[in-house]
């Protein structure tokens, strides 16, 4: 009985993880190519191309904003259906987005769909995991996104090298979105029970109907970290070309994913047994080192060492921070906790490319990435005051 209660690798866990992998794969496949597409096909400026890339994440933020409450009203499975349907339709609509405004509108709508669908998958995972193994389970679940982080950019850059027509990318994405939509029909989800108090509080407009306040401190740290990483995600193609390291650029995310796959099983278990601080502080320091190496890289080896450091640092921070948001929240508000975390995180990812793109013409990519080292160091201080010192006190009391 105990073994069954603690089981992680169920059919539904695997299917929901696969759905998350597929929609994230599509996201990253487009994220590293859409800015170049906007420049080449619509003569967009660097800043506008950054906006074309990041408006997707603004849409994701908007999608997440109300999804926590919608999950509470409709249930996570119905919410997932709506998100996947809209995601499939918007992915297929790239073929008819014939000008820059339409392209940006479609990016926004697809972002909203991803926000709804990914919040639903994250909530479903939190619902089906044993509470005492949530750190470990969320760590394994987040590997679905990490694999997509590696494969998506690699395939996207490879397709741009093999085919001059970007419609090949849109075709691959459309097929994946259709497959993902039909995977929904084989998922079984037991919705979390609602408390009477929680149902009553939904009457009228309240901030707590849309935001889980207990998740805000760690979510704010994730916002800063997402901002620091956003330039790597959006400007990788341009930066690699500038350094004449296009081949290394295509393998950057592969190395990034490999080191996360190697370290994630340990960090998840460590979180459940020793707490977050023992993971977060080293990860942020390693992330800062990786960003410095990235900003100063001039060879393939240096470029890929930076990828490994960023993977260990940023990649593990993200899953641990998400697990923290879940752990500090009651079961009946898991949907809100998940959406709150990603609202802040997506805001950092979404604002970053546009804001940083404004400075690229005058400062250049190297200076931008070097500046992000100090942003990451700032996040260490923020983490200490917003969560780290409180967890240290809690661990001391337990001891």
Does 196 map to a domain?
Answer: no
Does 82 map to a domain?
Answer: yes
Domain at 49, CATH number: 1.20.1250.20
pLDDT at 200: 38
The secondary structure of the chain, three-state, reads: CHHHHCCCCCHHHHHHHHHHHHHHHHHHHHHCCHHHHHHHHHCCCHHHHHHHHHHHHHHHHHHHHHHHHHHHHHCHHHHHHHHHHHHHHHHHHHHHCCCHHHHHHHHHHHHHHHHHHHHHHHHHHHHHCCHHHHHHHHHHHHHHHHHHHHHHHHHHHHHHHHCCCCHHHHHHHHHHHHHHHHHHHHCCCCCCCCCHHHHHCCCCCCHHHCCCHHHHHHHHHHHHHHHHHHHHHHHHHHHHHHCCCHHHHHHHHHHHHHHHHHHHHHHHHHHHHHCCHHHHHHHHHHHHHHHHHHHHCCCHHHHHHHHHHHHHHHHHHHHHHHHHHHHCCCHHHHHHHHHHHHHHHHHHHHHHHHHHHHHHHHHHHHHHHHHHHHHHHHHHHHHHHHHHHHHHHHHHHHC
Neighbours of 215 (CB within 10 A): 30
Q: Give the Cα separation of 49 and 238 in Å (integer).
A: 11
Does 311 map to a domain?
Answer: yes
pLDDT digits (tens), the chain, 399 positions: 444 446 778 888 999 999 999 999 999 888 878 888 888 888 888 778 878 887 887 888 889 888 877 887 888 889 999 999 999 999 999 999 889 999 999 999 999 999 999 989 988 988 888 877 777 788 788 888 878 877 887 788 788 888 878 889 999 999 999 999 999 999 887 655 555 445 434 555 577 778 899 999 999 999 999 999 998 987 887 898 899 988 887 788 889 889 988 888 788 778 878 888 999 999 999 999 999 999 999 999 999 999 999 999 998 998 899 889 988 888 778 778 888 998 898 888 878 888 898 898 899 999 999 999 999 999 999 999 999 988 765 655 444
Does 199 map to a domain?
Answer: no
The CA–CA distances, whole Å, from 71 to 3, 24, 185 equal 29, 20, 18
Does 45 map to a domain?
Answer: yes
Does 49 map to a domain?
Answer: yes
Domain count for the chain? 1
Q: Are 116 and 242 in contact (CB under 8 A)?
A: no
pLDDT at 139: 78
Does 213 map to a domain?
Answer: yes
Does 197 map to a domain?
Answer: no
Q: Give the Cα separation of 385 and 322 in Å (integer).
A: 18
Q: Which domain holds residue 260?
A: 2-191+204-398
């Amino acid at each position: 009985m105990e073994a069954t209660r603690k089981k992680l690798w169920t059919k539904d866990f695997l299917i929901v993880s696969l759905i998350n992998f597929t929609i994230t794969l599509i996201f990253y496949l487009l994220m590293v190519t859409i800015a170049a597409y906007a420049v080449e096909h619509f003569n967009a400026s660097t800043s506008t191309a950054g906006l074309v890339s990041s408006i997707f994440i603004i849409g994701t933020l908007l999608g997440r904003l109300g999804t926590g409450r919608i999950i509470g009203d409709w249930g996570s499975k119905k919410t997932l259906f709506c998100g996947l349907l809209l995601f499939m339709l918007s992915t297929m609509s790239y073929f008819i987005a014939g000008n820059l405004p339409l392209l940006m509108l479609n990016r926004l709508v697809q972002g909203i769909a991803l926000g709804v669908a990914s919040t639903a998958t994250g909530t479903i995972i939190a619902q089906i995991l044993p509470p005492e193994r949530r750190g470990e389970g969320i760590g394994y679940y987040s590997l679905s996104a990490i694999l997509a982080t590696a494969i998506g950019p690699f395939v996207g850059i490879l397709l741009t090298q093999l085919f001059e027509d970007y419609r090949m990318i849109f075709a691959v994405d459309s097929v994946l979105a259709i497959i993902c939509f039909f995977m929904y029909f084989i998922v079984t989800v037991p919705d979390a029970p609602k408390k009477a108090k929680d149902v009553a509080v939904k009457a009228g407009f309240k901030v707590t109907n849309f935001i889980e306040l207990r998740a805000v401190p760690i979510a704010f740290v994730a916002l800063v970290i997402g901002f620091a990483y956003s330039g790597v995600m959006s400007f990788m193609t341009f930066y690699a070309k500038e350094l004449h390291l296009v081949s290394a650029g295509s393998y950057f995310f592969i190395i990034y994913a490999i080191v996360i796959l190697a370290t994630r099983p340990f960090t998840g278990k460590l979180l459940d047994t020793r707490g977050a601080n023992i993971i977060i502080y080293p990860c942020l320091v390693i992330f800062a080192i990786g960003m410095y190496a990235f900003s100063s890289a001039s060879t393939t080896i240096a470029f890929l060492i930076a990828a490994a450091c960023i993977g260990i640092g940023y990649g593990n921070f993200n899953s641990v921070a998400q697990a923290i948001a879940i752990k500090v929240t009651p079961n009946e508000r898991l949907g809100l906790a998940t959406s709150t975390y990603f609202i802040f995180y997506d805001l950092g990812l979404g604002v970053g490319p546009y804001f940083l793109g404004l400075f690229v013409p005058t400062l250049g990519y190297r200076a931008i990435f070097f500046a992000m080292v100090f942003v990451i160091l700032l996040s260490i201080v923020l983490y200490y005051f917003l969560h780290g010192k409180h967890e240290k006190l809690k661990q001391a009391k337990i001891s």
